[in-house]
Chains A and B, each alone.
Chain A
Amino acid sequence: MTPILFAFSSAFTLGLTGLVFHRVHLLSALLCLEGMMLSLYIALSTWSLGMGSASSSALPLFLLAISACEAGAGLAILVATARTHGTDRLQSLNLLQW
Chain B
Amino acid sequence: MAYFVYLFMVGLVLGMAVVAVNLSPYFAAFGLVVVAGMGCGVIISFGGSFLSLVLFLIYLGGMLVVFAYSAALAAEPFPESFGTTGAVLYFMGLVGVVGVFAILYIEEGSGLGGCSSDEVMGMSSCVTEYDGMSQMYGPGGFLLVLCAWVLLLTLFVVLEMTRGSSRGPLRSVK
The chain A residues found within 8 Å of chain B, CB to CB, are 1-8, 10-11, 14-15, 17-18, 21-22, 24-28, 30-32, 34-35, 38-39, 41-42, 45-46, 48-50, 52-58, 60-62, 64-69, 71-73, 75-84, 88, 98
Most chain A CB inside 10 Å of its own CB: which residue of B51, B55, B144, B162: B51
Query: A57, B67: Cβ atoms under 8 Å?
Result: no
Q: Which residues of A contact B131 (CB under 8 A)?
A: 54-55, 57
Main secondary structure of the interface of A (DSSP, over half): helix
Q: How many A-B residue pairs have CB under 8 A?
A: 246
Bound-complex Cα distance A39 to B31 (A): 13
Most buried by B among A8, A14, A35, A53: A14
Question: How many chain B residues have a CB neighbour from A under 8 Å?
Answer: 80
Given contacts A62-B143, A68-B151, contact A54 B13 (CB under 8 A): no
Leading 8 A-B pairs by shortest Cβ distance: A18-B20, A57-B132, A50-B114, A54-B131, A22-B22, A2-B113, A58-B136, A76-B161
Give the distance in Å from the alpha carbon of A61 to the alpha carbon of B132 in the complex: 11
Further contacts, 15 of them, CB under 8 A, given A38-B35, A55-B139, A77-B170: A1-B110, A2-B107, A11-B16, A31-B31, A35-B16, A39-B35, A46-B114, A48-B48, A50-B115, A52-B126, A55-B135, A58-B133, A66-B147, A68-B154, A73-B154
* B133-171 near A? 1/0 per residue, CB < 8 Å: 101100110011001001101110110011011001111
